[in-house]
């Protein structure tokens, strides 16, 4: 198969879809890989390293999309990329469709086949291609939160760990999945007083067993959220209903209950955000303030630490990319149930229920495609 790896063009998106090691594996399986010039530079990979691994370099993004049967990238295509996508082209990347009707309709209109990293789902309901980036973003949420709590950056001016004789900051984590667990671990390590809320009793039990003594767990509901926000200094949003719009757990009126300088980090922004006042921001301009509450809602947090993130992402995506390239998407998905869950849009049809629900679009049975092998 002819594979294309474009350079990411989203603001401060410094990751790349395939590393030179990944190129070498794909080439070894008999595929041809075209990498856009300087696509890996921000992640520490020079063009020469890709050439050494067997890639061919193309100077422009247009040529990459024009040449490739399958595109492997990191973030969802943004407006300037829409017209580059060809009918029947296979796109393997994050899409987060439920947060953008414009993107959903653009991919429907393109006639392409969209396999979303974030909805590939193992039988235990874990999301293997989202997990490493959630680990990065969860850890980063505390780093960013601690920074924006500083007074010159308009935060409350409190140190997460406090000092001897002065109480630490309170950190509230909504959702105890991958993001929430990593956030809680980091905040606890810095000495904060941490509370994790989740709706899964099984998850709460697990967290209670593994977390240190300065982390408490509570069942998530509006009552508990309203109680905690009054005294929390940093609130991290990490809830997820796979493929769907995030539930709005903190509503606009609740901001008035918070103390001035409270910091909200909405990691769930890529699925629409779990705070009503969330709107996506960029690494260039990451925060805004409403009712004296600082909002941080960067939709591609791992893009700021590409040395860590590109390796972590491609470690997990490559085995699936190889299957897609070796067998073609129909056979690969027919033979691999977790990968089949990644199919979101096929040749103009939405095949993932939560996306059809989000925008009231007709849903086509994915098996209508994968059971008919050419």
Ligand X SMILES: NC(=O)C1=CN([C@@H]2O[C@H](COP(=O)(O)OP(=O)(O)OC[C@H]3O[C@@H](n4cnc5c(N)ncnc54)[C@H](O)[C@@H]3O)[C@@H](O)[C@H]2O)C=CC1
Interface with ligand CC(=O)C(=O)O by CB under 6 A: which residues? 75, 94, 130, 133, 270, 300, 302
> Does 32 contact ligand X by CB under 6 A?
no
d(CA 154, CA 263): 9
Least Å distance, CB 331 to ligand CC(=O)C(=O)O, is 27
Q: Is 202 annotated as a binding residue?
A: no
Least Å distance, CB 188 to ligand X, is 17
d(CA 272, CA 266): 9
156 and 233 Cβ atoms separated by less than 8 Å:
yes
Question: What is the sign, positive or negative, of the torsion defined by CA atoms of 332, 337, 339, 345?
Answer: positive
The two tokens of residue 16 are: 């790349």
Does the annotation count 283 as an active-site position?
A: no
Interface with ligand X (CB under 6 A), residue from 67, 143, 200, 308: 200
Q: Is 270 annotated as a binding residue?
A: yes
Comparing CB distances to ligand X, the nearer of 200 and 347 is 200
Comparing CB distances to ligand CC(=O)C(=O)O, the nearer of 226 and 283 is 283
Look at the chain and count its residues. Answer: 374
Q: Is 15 annotated as a binding residue?
A: yes
> Does 220 contact ligand X by CB under 6 A?
yes
Comparing CB distances to ligand CC(=O)C(=O)O, the nearer of 34 and 94 is 94
Task: For 81, list phi and psi in degrees, rounded to 5.
Answer: -90, -20
d(CA 126, CA 283): 28
Least Å distance, CB 216 to ligand CC(=O)C(=O)O, is 28
Question: What does 239 bind: Mg ion, ligand X, ligand CC(=O)C(=O)O, none (CB cut-off 5 to 8 Å by kind)?
Answer: ligand X
> The sheet that has 70-72: what strands, in order across it?
56-58, 32-36, 2-5, 70-72, 90-93, 113-116, 343-346, 349-350
> Does 249 contact ligand X by CB under 6 A?
yes
Interface with ligand X (CB under 6 A), residue from 192, 270, 332, 350: 270
Comparing CB distances to Mg ion, the nearer of 47 and 292 is 292
The two tokens of residue 152 are: 């010159």
d(CA 275, CA 273): 6
Does the annotation count 270 as an active-site position?
A: yes
| Catalytic option among 193, 266, 270, 349 | 270
* Long-range contacts of the stretch 279-282 (C-beta < 8 A, 24+): 282/11, 282/12
| Catalytic option among 96, 266, 295, 349 | 96
Q: Where are the alpha helices (DSSP H) in 60-130?
A: 61-67, 79-82, 101-110
Least Å distance, CB 221 to ligand X, is 8
Q: Given the rule CB under 6 A, which residues bind ligand X?
A: 118, 130, 133-134, 137, 174-180, 197-200, 203, 220, 238-241, 246-247, 249, 267-271, 299-302
Catalytic residues: 96, 270
């Amino acid at each position: 198969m002819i594979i294309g790896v474009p350079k990411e063009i989203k603001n401060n998106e410094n990751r790349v879809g395939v590393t030179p090691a990944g190129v070498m594996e794909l080439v070894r399986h008999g595929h041809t890989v075209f990498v856009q010039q300087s696509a890996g530079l921000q992640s520490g990979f020079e063009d020469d390293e890709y050439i050494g691994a067997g890639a061919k370099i193309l100077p422009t993004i247009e040529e990459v999309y024009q040449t490739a049967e399958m595109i492997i990238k990191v973030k969802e295509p943004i407006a300037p990329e829409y017209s580059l996508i060809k009918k029947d082209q296979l796109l393997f990347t994050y899409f987060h469709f439920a947060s953008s009707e414009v993107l959903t309709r653009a991919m429907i209109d393109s006639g392409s086949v969209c396999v979303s990293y974030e909805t590939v789902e193992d039988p235990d309901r874990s999301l293997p291609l989202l997990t490493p980036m959630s680990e990065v973003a969860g850890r980063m949420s505390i780093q960013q939160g601690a920074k924006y709590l500083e007074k010159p950056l308009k935060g409350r001016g409190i140190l997460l760990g406090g000092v001897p004789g002065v109480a630490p900051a309170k950190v509230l984590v909504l959702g105890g999945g991958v993001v929430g667990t990593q956030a809680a671990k980091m905040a606890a390590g810095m000495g904060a007083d941490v509370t994790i809320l989740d709706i899964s009793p099984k998850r709460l039990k697990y967290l209670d067993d593994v977390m240190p003594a300065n982390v408490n767990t509570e069942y998530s509901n509006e009552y508990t959220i309203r109680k905690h926000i009054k005294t929390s200094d940093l609130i991290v949003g990490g809830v997820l209903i796979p493929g769907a719009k995030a539930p709005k757990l903190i509503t606009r009126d609740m901001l008035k209950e918070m103390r001035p300088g409270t910091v909200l980090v909405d990691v769930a922004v890529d699925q629409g955000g779990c705070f009503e006042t969330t709107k996506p921001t960029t690494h260039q301009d990451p925060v805004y303030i409403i009712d004296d509450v600082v909002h941080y809602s960067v939709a591609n947090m791992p893009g700021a630490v590409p040395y860590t993130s590109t390796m972590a992402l491609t470690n997990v995506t490559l085995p699936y990319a190889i299957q897609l390239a070796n067998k073609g998407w129909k056979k690969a998905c027919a033979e691999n149930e977790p990968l089949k869950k990644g199919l979101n849009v096929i040749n103009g049809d939405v095949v993932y229920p939560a996306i059809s629900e989000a925008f009231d679009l007709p849903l086509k049975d994915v098996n209508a495609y994968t059971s008919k092998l050419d």
